[in-house]
Amino acid sequence: MKRVIIIMAKVPVAGTVKTRLQPFLSPAECAGLAAAFLRDAENKAKTVCKKTILAYSPVDQKIVLENILQSENILVEQRGTDLGARMSAAFEFAFTREKDSAVVMFGTDSPTFPAKFIERAFEFLETNADAVMGKSADGGFYLIGLRRFTPHLFENIEWSVASVFEQMTANFARFKFHNLRLIPDWYDVDTPDDFLRLRDEMLKDEEARKCAPQTFQWLTANAEIFDKNSNSFSENKF
C-alpha cells in the first residue's frame, strides 16, 4: 500500500492568515508565523512520505506559495464552499491519483506534533484501520487518515465548534468505516493563549524545537513581541 500525505494550507499573505492572533501580532507577523508553520509541516511530511500533496487557497497566490515551499510537492487548488467540501475534494484527488493508497491529511496549525504520529497513523491504516484521527484541544482534529474515499463523509458537520471530533466520529460510523484508531491529542495555534502555549513549549521542550525548527527560528527572531505585549514575557526570553 502506497503512502500519500495531504497538507491543507492557506497561503501566508498578511491580513488573511492567523487573524485571530491580531492585534496580539501584526498582520505581517501573523503571515511570517504562518509561513514558518507551513515550512515545518512540509518538512515533517517529507520525513515520513515523499509523496506529498499540498492543497492550497487562495488560487491566485500560487507564486507566493511556491516561494515559501522548500521541496517538491504536488500542488492542487482547494475546491469547495466549506472546510468539509475542501477536505473531501483533496482526498478524492489523492485517491484518484494514487490507487491503493493510505492517505493522511493534516494542516499547518499544529507545528509541534511529532512526525512519529504520522508514521503511527500510516501503520494503523496499513494494518486493519479504515480511518485514523488525532483530536485537537479545541474539540476538532488536527490529523485525519483514510484507507478509502467516500464522497459524503465530510457533510453535515458544523465546523469550528467544540463537537467537530464527535461529529466526524459519528460520520465514520454512519458510512461503515471500521476500526477507527486514534493518535495522541495535540493543540492548534489559533489564539493568543495558544501562541503563548507554543512559546512555552518551545522554551521547555527540545523535542518541540526539533519538530518545528522553522517556527522556533521565527520565535527567536521575533522575541521582542513578548516584551511588546506583556511585561511578564520578559522573564524568559529566547
Over residues 208-228, the pLDDT tens digits come to: 999 999 999 999 999 887 666
User: Does residue 202 sit within a domain?
Assistant: yes
- C-alpha dihedral, 195 to 196 to 202 to 205, nearest 10°: -120
pLDDT on residue 223: 84
User: Whole-prediction pTM value?
Assistant: 0.94
- Tally of structural domains, the chain: 1
Residues contacting residue 195 through CB under 8 Å, at least 6 positions apart: 21, 24, 25, 189
Residue 73 domain-assigned (yes or no): yes
Does residue 229 register a pLDDT over 70? no
**Does 56 score more than 90 pLDDT?**
yes
* Residue 234 lies inside a defined structural domain of this protein: no
The pLDDT, as a whole number, for residue 225 is: 74
Name the residue range of residue 190's domain. Answer: 2-227
- Mean pLDDT calculated for residue range 94-119: 97
What confidence tens digit (pLDDT) does each residue in 62-92 have?
999 999 998 899 999 999 999 999 999 999 9
The mean pLDDT of 131-157, rounded to a whole number, is 97
Peptide bond into 58 cis (omega under 30): yes
Nearest alpha-carbon partner for 112 in 145, 137, 85: 137
Q: What is residue 235's predicted lDDT score, i.e. its pLDDT?
A: 45
Whether 235 is in a domain gets the answer: no
What would the pLDDT profile of 155-166 be if each residue is shown by its tens digit? 999 999 999 999
Residue 159 is part of a domain; what is its CATH number? 3.90.550.10
Written as nine digits, the cell of 60 is: 491566485
